[in-house]
Amino acid sequence: MEIIIGSTPPLGPSDDSPKVRESNTVEAKLLHVRPPRRGIAGPSGAERRMKKTCDPINGRVLTLMVMDGNTLPKDIEKANYRVSLRFHRM
């Protein structure tokens, strides 16, 4: 038996490091729902947007807020991800 009084805790990884996600699910809050974009024609009838975009006719645009940004992948802005949604009524 060994009794040590007043020792310092062992050095190791800090608890302040970002949490590792246990699954691929990320919780978010739905802020707004709107219909898809329609064409924006100017006085000459030409499209005013620089880039041609085509939203699906039956689509909806959802604005989501992720409460904890650390749960998102680090390369979210540089990589292509497929996102699946599951809705739970509160």
DSSP E strand boundaries for 1-90: 28-34, 61-66
Q: 78 or 43: which carries more pLDDT confidence? A: 78
Query: Model confidence at 64, in pLDDT bands (50, 70, 90)?
Result: very high
Query: Model confidence at 32, in pLDDT bands (50, 70, 90)?
Result: very high
The CA distance from 44 to 61, in Å, is: 28
Residue that the structure tokens 């041609």 belong to: 52
**Is it the case that residue 21 has pLDDT exceeding 90?**
no
Nearest to 33 by CA among 56, 57, 62, 55: 62
State whether residue 71 is helix, strand or coil. helix
Nearest to 64 by CA among 35, 36, 37, 26: 26
The model's pTM is: 0.55
Q: 33 or 8: which carries more pLDDT confidence? A: 33
**Is it the case that residue 75 has pLDDT exceeding 60?**
yes
